[in-house]
């Protein structure tokens, strides 16, 4: 196991009606003038934004609203939020929504206290300072509610890039599984896929002797395999929603990924898809993961056999472990299809003729060196082959 530091000082308030604690939590974590940052009209129409606003007002906290965050959140709104925060002397940002609203809020939080262009953080500069951020989560997926990460799409060039830093870990996150019950099934399934991708990205490691984190990741994958279909079958199943919501946080706050190298090639490969086609990140991952795994499987057959046996219940073929490894990948692929995710480029709305554009943006865009690295290093030729596996 590698040396590591794990520091996750987010206060998670979990369960029914917990959004009513938003005001008290903002006050507890030092906020006095609050930006409520959210996405589309559904959070307004459902009354959630009104309830959160009421909770803040009950604490005497002035609040300012900035909606309009879209999936694959854009840099334009981040610049707008930074302006607003500076103008109104805002000192706390409360994201109400899913990963997009939270990631956009984190970008605004970092950008407001930074003299330069916030995009510097998405080009490799570590975030050292930010306004405090809190969240009211409405979709179990991105894990941004417990992570130090944010992903934003730059409109100039449509690059989708990530930034990181302990300063943008939320001070608190309110997780009410009931808020996710109104999600359309496609969004729920995309969230399930994203959570499972976060687990696989950590599972694919080159570090030896990491049984504890292997087992924890497997535990969360098993949970998703059990609870995912239940919630697709019955969207009102609060308990299934609750299990998925906690799994989604644990999948990405890194308690299960410490002390080991991780992959993240699949995320990078997918990011170009959602940047170009504006598809749901989870849907893109459902097409990407099986392709990437098929391509890199030979790098460590036993690791893919292990997840096949322990998570997917495959029988180990001791004479031909590659058969077991492949069976596990196939079970993953079929699982995604079974919950309603797309299976290929066509179903995703992607086009074969764009592959050169995708490969170039992935491997050379925004200063990249012609390859991406993780579990294995993939150059342009590899990435082209992987995109072709998705056809």
Q: How far is the CB of 265 from a second copy (least distance, A)?
A: 25
Nearer to a second copy, 109 or 221 (CB): 221
Nearer to a second copy, 16 or 320 (CB): 16
Element (H, E) at 315: none
Cα separation, 198 vs 34, in Å, equals 31
Residues forming beta bridges with residue 163, ordered by sequence position? 150
Nearer to a second copy, 84 or 219 (CB): 219
213 counts as binding a second copy under rule CB under 8 A: yes
Among 53, 201, 218, 272, binds a second copy (CB under 8 A): 218
Cα separation, 169 vs 134, in Å, equals 9
Nearer to a second copy, 30 or 356 (CB): 30
Among 78, 136, 152, 242, binds a second copy (CB under 8 A): 242
Q: Helices marked H in 278-349 — which ranges?
A: 281-296, 301-310, 321-338, 345-348
Among 110, 240, 362, 383, binds a second copy (CB under 8 A): 240
* SS3 category, 122: helix
206 counts as binding a second copy under rule CB under 8 A: no
Stretch that binds a second copy, among 86-94, 250-258, 299-307, 359-367 (CB under 8 A): 250-258
Cβ proximity of 109 and 130 under 8 Å: yes
Cα separation, 294 vs 348, in Å, equals 19
30 counts as binding a second copy under rule CB under 8 A: no
Structure-token pair, residue 102: 């939270």
Query: Closest Cα partner for 354 from 280, 273, 282, 269?
Result: 273
Q: How far is the CB of 12 from a second copy (least distance, A)?
A: 4
Cβ proximity of 391 and 344 under 8 Å: yes
Element (H, E) at 65: strand 63-66
89 counts as binding a second copy under rule CB under 8 A: no
Q: How far is the CB of 213 from a second copy (least distance, A)?
A: 7
Among 115, 211, 319, 353, binds a second copy (CB under 8 A): 211
Site string for a second copy, 124-163 (x = CB under 8 A): ----------------------------------------
7 counts as binding a second copy under rule CB under 8 A: yes
Structure-token pair, residue 97: 């929504």
295 counts as binding a second copy under rule CB under 8 A: no
Nearer to a second copy, 141 or 287 (CB): 141
212 counts as binding a second copy under rule CB under 8 A: yes
Angle between helices 265-277 and 281-296 (to 10 degrees): 140
Nearer to a second copy, 100 or 147 (CB): 147
11 counts as binding a second copy under rule CB under 8 A: yes
DSSP 74: B
Q: Which residues contact 317 (CB under 8 A, 6 or more apart)?
A: 323, 324
Residues forming beta bridges with residue 96, ordered by sequence position? 38, 136
Binding site for a second copy (CB under 8 A): 1-16, 18, 177, 208-213, 215-216, 218-220, 222-223, 226-227, 239-240, 242-244, 246-247, 250, 255, 258-259
């Amino acid at each position: 196991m590698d040396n590591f530091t794990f520091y996750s000082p987010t206060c998670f308030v979990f369960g029914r009606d917990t959004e009513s604690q938003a005001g008290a939590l903002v006050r507890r974590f030092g906020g006095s003038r609050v930006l409520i940052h959210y996405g589309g009209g559904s959070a307004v129409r459902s009354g959630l934004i009104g309830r959160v606003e009421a909770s803040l007002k009950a604490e005497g906290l002035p609040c300012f609203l900035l909606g309009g965050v879209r999936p694959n959140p854009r840099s334009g709104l981040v610049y707008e939020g930074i302006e607003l925060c500076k103008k109104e002397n805002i000192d706390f940002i409360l994201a109400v929504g899913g990963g997009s609203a939270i990631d956009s809020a984190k970008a605004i939080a970092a950008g407001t206290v930074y003299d330069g262009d916030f995009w510097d953080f998405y080009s490799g500069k570590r975030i050292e300072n930010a306004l405090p951020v809190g969240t009211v989560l409405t979709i179990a997926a991105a894990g941004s509610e417990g992570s130090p990460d944010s992903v934003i799409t730059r409109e100039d060039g449509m690059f989708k890039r990530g930034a990181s830093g302990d300063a943008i870990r939320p001070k608190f996150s309110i997780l009410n599984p009931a808020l996710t019950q109104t999600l359309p099934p496609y969004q729920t399934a995309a969230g399930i896929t994203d959570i499972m991708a976060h687990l696989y990205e950590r599972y694919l490691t080159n570090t030896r002797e990491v049984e504890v984190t292997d087992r924890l990741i497997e535990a969360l994958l098993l949970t998703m395999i059990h609870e995912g279909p239940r919630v697709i079958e019955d969207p009102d199943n609060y308990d299934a929603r609750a299990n998925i919501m906690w799994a989604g946080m644990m999948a990405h706050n890194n308690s299960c990924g410490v002390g080991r190298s991780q992959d993240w090639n699949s995320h990078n490969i997918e990011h170009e898809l959602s940047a170009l086609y504006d598809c749901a990140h989870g849907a893109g991952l459902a097409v990407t993961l099986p392709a990437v795994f098929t391509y890199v499987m030979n790098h460590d057959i036993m690791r893919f056999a292990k997840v096949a046996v322990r998570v997917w219940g495959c029988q180990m073929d001791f004479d031909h472990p590659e058969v077991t490894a492949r069976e596990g990948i196939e079970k993953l692929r079929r699982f995604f299809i079974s919950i309603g995710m797309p299976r290929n480029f066509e179903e995703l709305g992607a086009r074969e003729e764009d592959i050169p554009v995708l490969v170039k943006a992935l491997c050379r865009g925004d200063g990249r060196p012609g390859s991406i690295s993780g579990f294995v290093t993939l150059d342009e030729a590899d990435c082209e082959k992987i995109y072709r596996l998705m056809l």
